[in-house]
Amino acid sequence: MRQTPKLWEATYEAETSEDLAEAYRKWCALYDRDTVKVMGYVGPQTAAAMLDAYLDSKSCRVLDAGCGTGLVGEFLRSFGYNHIDAMDYSPDMLGEAEKKGVYNRLIQADMNDKLNIPDDCYDATICVGTFTYAHVGPHAFEELVRVTRPGGYICFTIRDGAYQDYNYREKMLDLEAEEQWELQELWEKDYLTNENVTAKFCTYKVLAG
Ligand SMILES: C[S@@+](CC[C@H](N)C(=O)[O-])C[C@H]1O[C@@H](n2cnc3c(N)ncnc32)[C@H](O)[C@@H]1O
């Protein structure tokens, strides 16, 4: 049976944000190879294609939240988007993302805190691979809604297992009940194909609140 790479495990076992940043510091250079080639990571292209179906202009302002090394940004850029900002907690992952040359702006921020980004700043927000074990909890949806303009879209993945353990669905439903956002689609899809791991792929439309 395939062994999960150890560097990957450390990101799931982090107990503090400092531990997590250290795990990504060690992993950043090998992240693309390990995820895409070894684990069969297909989250970025699936989510980028989902979001693309909702956006009516390639000059939309898009925030890639938890951008990592920029896999999502690369797909969005290949679809023609030319205003993509990258946000991540890890300076090392942001450094890898910068090398891809697909982002307008790089923002170092902790999604578990309030973001230093004005309200309604983006036409769309995409967040792939970041709602998972030991990373970002469901309360962060509120900030993604705040920085995305009414009528804009938020597309994100939630890893299976973490989805159940961290009660993401409860927060999603609370925000639906508060008319903060409206569900467009929610699918269970392949995520890490070589590990037989799926994720929820969700798209919401932001409401005026
Ligand atoms: C599994 S990677 C996904 C990266 C990229 N979106 C992708 O699909 O390849 C998760 C990313 O979330 C970032 N992250 C974890 N916790 C975070 C937090 N609290 N705030 C912002 N980014 C965070 C990590 O630094 C890492 O780059």
Per-residue pLDDT tens over the stretch 94-118: 999 999 999 999 999 999 999 999 9
Averaged over 45-64, what is the pLDDT? 98
State the pLDDT at residue 9.
85
- The per-residue DSSP string of 20-76 comes to HHHHHHHHGGGHHIIIIIIS-B-HHHHHHHHHHTT-S-TT--EEEET-TTSHHHHHH
Rounded distance between C-alpha atoms, residue 188 and residue 202, angstroms: 9
- Give the chain's mean pLDDT: 95
Distance 170 CA to ligand 1 centre (A): 22
State the pLDDT at residue 7.
79
Inform me whether the pLDDT recorded for 63 exceeds 60. Answer: yes
Contacts of 94 (CB under 8 A, 6+ apart): 67, 86, 88, 106, 108
pTM (2 decimals)?
A: 0.96
Q: CA neighbours within 13 Å on the CB side: how many for 156?
A: 29
State the pLDDT at residue 3.
52
Please tell me if the CB atom of residue 154 comes closer than 6 angstroms to any atom of ligand 1: no
Please tell me the least confidently modeled range out of 6-10, 19-23, 120-124, 173-177. 6-10
Averaged over 130-149, what is the pLDDT? 96
State the pLDDT at residue 41.
97
Please tell me if the CB atom of residue 135 comes closer than 6 angstroms to any atom of ligand 1: yes
Report all structural domains of the chain as residue ranges with CATH numbers, in order of start. Answer: 42-206 (3.40.50.150)
Please tell me the least confidently modeled range out of 15-19, 55-59, 85-89, 171-175. 15-19
- Is the distance from CB of 69 to CB of 130 less than 8 angstroms? no
Please tell me if the CB atom of residue 127 comes closer than 6 angstroms to any atom of ligand 1: no
Rounded distance between C-alpha atoms, residue 204 and residue 125, angstroms: 10
Q: CA neighbours within 13 Å on the CB side: how many for 81?
A: 30
| H helical segments located in the chain | 6-13, 17-27, 31-32, 43-52, 71-78, 91-100, 141-147, 162-165, 168-177
Averaged over 164-184, what is the pLDDT? 97
Token pair belonging to 206: 């932001």
Choice from 20, 89, 156 to test ligand 1 binding pocket (greatest atom count within 8 A of CB): 89
State the pLDDT at residue 2.
53
Inform me whether the pLDDT recorded for 78 exceeds 60. Answer: yes
